[in-house]
Structure 1
């Protein structure tokens, strides 16, 4: 992830980066442990893996775990200037490129699920069945693969056979052979996020209309769904800013290397780690049913309340 031509800026600077790298390892480890517990809870009861919003939630968790683990590995490799053969770097790039879009696309699908549940409750069972959920996951991964396919098709047409066996510090930039590819990649990403933003804004407006007309328990449930959409929108905004980070970092690198290191570290924490830590908050803690199940399994069955919580923990 670091630039090959970067220079050593002094021992004190390296020690400072070391502290930051250690902090990132702690954050990633904590995140992966929390997600492992959430994923375990998801597979414990069929009420979760037969319900669309929980299936999409699990898809987000799995994608985020894989994405953060691999970006962390690349962070360590690049910091210590370890090189990889380009064929292995290519495999890692494909996985990361696809899963860069899986999370925001899944957030959009989860927003649509909330829209259907609140605005079209009579059709929710048919539109959000288990089969529809699995199809939706496949569509999400298919759409996520399109930007990667476009960029790599250009790369495959231009790269020589010997390139795949060269040793380099692995980064996405090594697969960009022409400057116009950067603009093409940016245009595709911006188009995706424009469509997703339109969907989220549309869902927000429609849910807002229902919230104003609802009463009693329906009103409470509708406003909770509205807050969920707002959190999804915030996550999507952070994911969108992540796409602009390489351009900002490239400009700063030409000015000051120390500032470049600081900005890159800030971007990683704010626009990669943070949006992927919000998913457990939105559905792992705010969702009452999932929260009680999570608490039950986290405490090894000592928490007894879920036993009668909508029959969730009944055998």
Structure 2
């Protein structure tokens, strides 16, 4: 997982104003994201039509996965910014969940594209695994696969020499548990293989649905929507791939600007980790007509309640003022 936990150990000790600014940028950004995700999850959980549709169940799984990924990434960011040290036994779960959710996102995108493919080509005889009451088996399988990668990676190499027990306080950085060249090579190979396979799956489903659109004379609207959905999954995958552009951006920034290492790391973390994870579920959620209409109704209902409460409060204040006078 590429994140701000690779900062130099003493990078933030003497930069307190810069640290405060970075924290003040990240926290509100994450809070807005969390509010939007909570609203969408509440809508998905409260409407039967969403709970009985495989596509929306997979989307809810993606929302939960991206929320966990951002939550633990921001937590690791805050711990590094505050130079907080604690036992490696507590650090390992944070890094593990961050890495597993990072690997799980492209797998979910590939599954959502395959779900659209199955819905178009097998509308009446859909395989049992792709039905809404069995889709949890696929989701569980994706979690098992994504969790197996960091387990294998962490078990391959050795930790820092000074970190010989799980009770030694350390700064929670990925380099603590991913320090050997073998682990780096394994991680790079897994990322390349995973994203390449997902890209091939999305491209395959897009091309097949595109060809089907040209053949069909009826129900072209639903097939065209499925094609655009798969294309959106390809864009979401591209946003995920941005996380691997940090070496390029670091080189360009070093050549063009005199930035500190911690500022470069924060720039990459904010632009290529936070923003893509923020945009990916929101673009998909607000693009869907059913979700978009429900989101609009939810916000209108909330604003109406706020206005009503304010109006009642003002009337109560006026009434109490008149009684006093």
TM-score (norm: length of structure 1) = 0.83
Distance 1:266 1:156, change over 3 A: closer
CA RMSD of the aligned region, Å?
3.0
Q: Is the 8 A contact 1:228 1:282 kept in 2?
A: no
Distance 1:188 1:257, change over 3 A: farther
Q: Is the 8 A contact 2:61 2:139 kept in 1?
A: yes
Q: What secondary structure, in the 3-state scheme, does the structure 1 residue paired with 2:301 have?
A: coil
Q: What secondary structure, in the 3-state scheme, does the structure 2 residue paired with 1:84 have?
A: strand
* 2:278 maps to 1:274: no
Distance 1:138 1:156, change over 3 A: farther
Q: Is the 8 A contact 1:116 1:123 kept in 2?
A: no
Q: What secondary structure, in the 3-state scheme, does the structure 2 residue paired with 1:75 have?
A: helix
Distance 1:158 1:264, change over 3 A: closer
State the match for 2:294 in structure 1. 293
State the match for 1:242 in structure 2. 243
State the match for 1:3 in structure 2. 7
Deviations 1:217-261 (A, max 9, x none): x2232222222212211221221231453x558879999983433
Distance 1:159 1:93, change over 3 A: farther
Q: What secondary structure, in the 3-state scheme, does the structure 2 residue paired with 1:124 have?
A: coil
Q: Is the 8 A contact 2:99 2:150 kept in 1?
A: yes
Q: What secondary structure, in the 3-state scheme, does the structure 2 residue paired with 1:122 have?
A: coil
TM-score (norm: length of structure 2) = 0.81
Q: Is the 8 A contact 1:102 1:141 kept in 2?
A: yes
Question: Match for 2:67 among 56, 65, 68?
Answer: 65
State the match for 1:198 in structure 2. 200
Write out aligned runs for 1:161-180 (5 A). 162-180=164-182
Q: Is the 8 A contact 1:242 1:272 kept in 2?
A: yes
Cα distance in structure 1, aligned partners of 2:76 and 2:249: 17
Q: Is the 8 A contact 2:110 2:198 kept in 1?
A: yes
State the match for 2:84 in structure 1. 82
- Measured after TM superposition, the shift of residue 108 of structure 1 is 0.9
State the match for 1:102 in structure 2. 104
Say which one has the larger Rg: 2
Cα distance in structure 1, aligned partners of 2:249 and 2:208: 38
Distance 1:8 1:116, change over 3 A: closer
* 2:265 maps to 1:261: no
Cα distance in structure 2, aligned partners of 1:257 and 1:69: 31
Q: Is the 8 A contact 1:252 1:259 kept in 2?
A: no
Distance 1:277 1:221, change over 3 A: farther
State the match for 1:284 in structure 2. 285
- Measured after TM superposition, the shift of residue 193 of structure 1 is 1.0
State the match for 1:134 in structure 2. 136
Question: Which consecutive residues of structure 2, in runs of 5 or more, have no partner in the other structure?
Answer: 305-325
- Measured after TM superposition, the shift of residue 121 of structure 1 is 2.3
Q: Is the 8 A contact 1:249 1:260 kept in 2?
A: no
Q: What secondary structure, in the 3-state scheme, does the structure 1 residue paired with 2:259 have?
A: helix
- Measured after TM superposition, the shift of residue 302 of structure 1 is 9.6
Q: What secondary structure, in the 3-state scheme, does the structure 2 residue paired with 1:164 have?
A: coil
Deviations 1:56-94 (A, max 9, x none): 111111111111111111111101211121100011111
